[in-house]
Amino acid sequence: MTKAVYFIGIGGIGMSALARYYIQKGLTVAGYDRTPTPLTRELEAEGASIHYSEDLSLVPEICLEPTTTLVVYTPAIPGDHAELAYFRQNGFRILKRAEVLGNLTREHKGLCVAGTHGKTTTSSMTAHLLHQSHVGCNAFLGGITKNYGTNYLLSAESDYVVIEADEFDRSFHHLTPYATVITATDPDHLDIYGTEEAYLESFSHYTSLIKEGGYLVLHTGLKMKPRTQPGVTTYSYSRNEGDFHATNIRMGDGRIVFDLVSPLGNICDVELGVPVGINIDNGIAAMALAQIAGLTAEEIRNAMLSFGGVDRRFDFHVRTPEKAYLSDYAHHPEELRQSITSIRQVYPGKRIVGIFQPHLYTRTRDFYREFADALSLLDEVILTEIYPAREQPIPGVDSELIMRHLQKGVPARIIRKDDVLECVKQLDYDVLMTLGAGDLDNYADRIAMLVRQS
């Protein structure tokens, strides 16, 4: 019988959601992370015991009993981590985070969202739709929702669990979805997969894991080929494309309203709570899963309007008639393209400046041309040094690679991340965007203050 759960990497966005799940179940929860963050401080306030050094003497005694402790870790933890090595050598039950999520999809009806990009917003939107309905859900999300201030939702009565299906390290192969959306399959994580063909094959394999009688909802135009039982449906933003799609789209005065065309029943006058163009796409996918789960048209319409978004996903910090500032997690070229294009729809004719922090040396190496093409949609580009995350530097790979391939005539420069505040003071913009999955967002509050003062 499990009495304690010990997390190695407890401060990660996905790990912390699981930690909250076990805290709610009344188990002892403890863990290690490299540095304290607002999220780890929240977990400590909720009852978790956390330390920040690889030191077994800091592990609570109850977590050192192999017969009653479950150890959970993420692929980002190095194999020589002292604590992980101890647990492996002493007969503990050890699971990857994805394996724990996989067990939950077999115990419940998993509504999963996979894809290169759009996962976090679409899964958070799906969770909000169900949570606000008569159906309810448990949810394990890859971002902090604005509506709830958490990445985890609990419903003791609901049989549905909403999960962000992460393709990194093939984690989503541990899942057994009841219904899944695949948003996009633009190549990514080539340090793991090696080739685009292997990346696409990974998604094809994922579709074979759907429960018998389950549902697959694919975005139109994907290269991957599903391997699943009949009944595949498609969705798209574009009018008259896909089984689920939008029509009668109305944009203006800061609002986006459209009608959903669906094989499970059309819904008129759906209004987005976060009115950016890409959320039409995300919303159609979320509404498809919600209809599969049995939500009514009224429940869906009300919840779509009240959805407040996710931290760092089209996250507006300032929105006045004169100036706007938002941060966005976009860290793949197609995400950048969609993010910038969506903001141009909301602010046509405005001067839009972006500050981009590239994420990972390998991703920059593999996609520097594509990054340059997407960033060239801005009126001015500011680049910082690469955020390395788990990686070591690669010779010849730096932000200069991207800058050299920007379209001619696009003003651009490279700055140190630590100089970003001074840079913002000098910029000429109507709309300012900070972009990337690194730590540039740590400056967001101070940037917002400068924007308000400008």
pLDDT digits (tens, 9 = 90+) for 352-374: 999 999 999 999 999 999 999 99
216 and 281 in a single domain? The answer is yes
- Most trustworthy range by pLDDT among 162-171, 253-262, 364-373: 364-373
Shared domain for 350 and 369, answered yes or no, is yes
Q: What is the pLDDT of residue 229?
A: 66
Residues 6+ apart with CB under 8 A from 62: 3, 4, 28, 68, 69
Which CATH number does the domain housing residue 221 bear? 3.40.1190.10
> How far, in Å, CA of 352 to CA of 405, rounded?
19
Q: Pick from 210, 159, 213: which is nearest to 181 by CA?
A: 210
- Mean pLDDT to the nearest integer, 174-179: 96
Q: What is the pLDDT of residues 59-114, one digit of tens each?
A: 999 999 999 999 999 877 888 899 999 999 999 999 999 999 999 999 999 999 99
Per-residue pLDDT for 18 more than 80?
A: yes
3-state secondary structure of 437: coil
Q: What is the mean pLDDT of residues 151-172?
A: 90
- 368 in any annotated domain: yes
* pLDDT grade for 239, boundaries at 50, 70 and 90: low
**Same domain, yes or no: 48 and 128:** no
Q: What is the CATH number of the domain that holds 92?
A: 3.40.50.720
Do 91 and 121 belong together in one domain?
Answer: no
Q: Which residue in the block uniquely carries the two structure tokens 């448990």?
A: 138
Report how many domains make up the chain.
3
The residue from 48, 74, 96 where one domain ends is 96
List CB contacts of 45: < 8 A, sequence separation 6 or more.
none
Q: Among 417, 398, 407, which Cα is nearest to 355's? A: 417
CA geometry: angle at 272 spanning 130 and 295, to 5°? 25
Is residue 238 included in any domain, yes or no? Answer: yes
Q: Which residue among 260, 285, 306 closes a domain?
A: 306
* Of 144, 171, 182, 116, residue with least CA distance to 332: 116
Query: Per-residue pLDDT for 273 more than 80?
Result: yes
Residue 118's domain spans which residues?
108-306
The reported pLDDT for the residue numbered 194 is 84
Strands 69-73 and 267-271, bridge-based pairing: unpaired
Tell me, yes or no, whether 223 and 184 share the same domain: yes
If pLDDT is split at 50, 70 and 90, which confidence band does 191 have?
A: confident
Percent of the chain at pLDDT > 90 equals 73
- In this structure, are 327 and 301 located in the same domain? no
d(CA 389, CA 31): 20
Helices 297-306 and 119-131, axial angle in degrees (round to 10): 120
End-of-domain residue from the set 76, 96, 116: 96
pLDDT score at 288: 97
Q: Residue 390 pLDDT more than 80? A: no
Secondary structure of residue 207 in the 3-state scheme: helix
Residue 208 domain flag:
yes
Q: SS3 for 125?
A: helix
Is residue 130 located within the same domain as residue 20?
no
Spatial CA neighbour of 256 closest among 237, 235, 236, 234: 237
pLDDT of residue 275: 86
Q: How confident is the model at residue 238 (pLDDT cuts 50, 70, 90)?
A: low
Q: Which residues contact 135 (CB under 8 A, 6 or more apart)?
A: 158, 160, 293, 294, 295
Per the domain annotation, does 147 fall within a domain? yes
Higher pLDDT: 419 or 154? It is 419
- pLDDT value for 447: 97
| Residue 103 covered by a domain | no
- Cβ neighbour number for residue 21 with a 10 Å cutoff: 22
The mean pLDDT value for 123-131 works out to 97
Q: What is the pLDDT of residues 404-422, one digit of tens each?
A: 999 999 999 999 999 999 9
Q: Which whole number is the average pLDDT over 231-260?
A: 85
pLDDT for the residue numbered 76: 77
Domain shared by 147 and 229, yes or no: yes
Q: Output the domain CATH number for residue 321.
A: 3.90.190.20
Residues 253 and 286 in one domain: yes
Which three-class secondary structure state does DSSP give residue 374? Answer: helix
Whether the predicted pLDDT of 58 surpasses 80: yes
Q: Where are the alpha helices (DSSP H) in 243-277?
A: none
Q: Which residue has the higher pLDDT, 334 or 43?
A: 43
* Spatial contact of 291 and 262, defined as CB atoms under 8 Å apart: yes
* pLDDT of amino acid 359: 94
**Spatial distance between the Cα atoms of 354 and 435, rounded to a whole number of angstroms:** 7
Name the pLDDT band for 350 (thresholds 50, 70, 90): very high
Confidence of residue 334 (pLDDT cuts 50, 70, 90): confident
CA distance readout (Å), 1 to 31, 64, 93: 19, 14, 11
- 174 and 269 share one domain: yes
Spatial distance between the Cα atoms of 75 and 372, rounded to a whole number of angstroms: 30
Tell me the one-letter amino acid at 54. E
Q: Is residue 102 in some structural domain? A: no
What amino acid is encoded at 364 in this protein?
T
Residue 331: per-residue pLDDT: 86
Is 101 inside a domain boundary? no
Do 128 and 261 share a domain, yes or no?
Answer: yes
Residues written for the chain: 454
| Average pLDDT of the residues of the chain | 92
Helix (H), strand (E) counts: the chain: 14, 21
Q: Are residues 345 and 293 in the same domain?
A: no
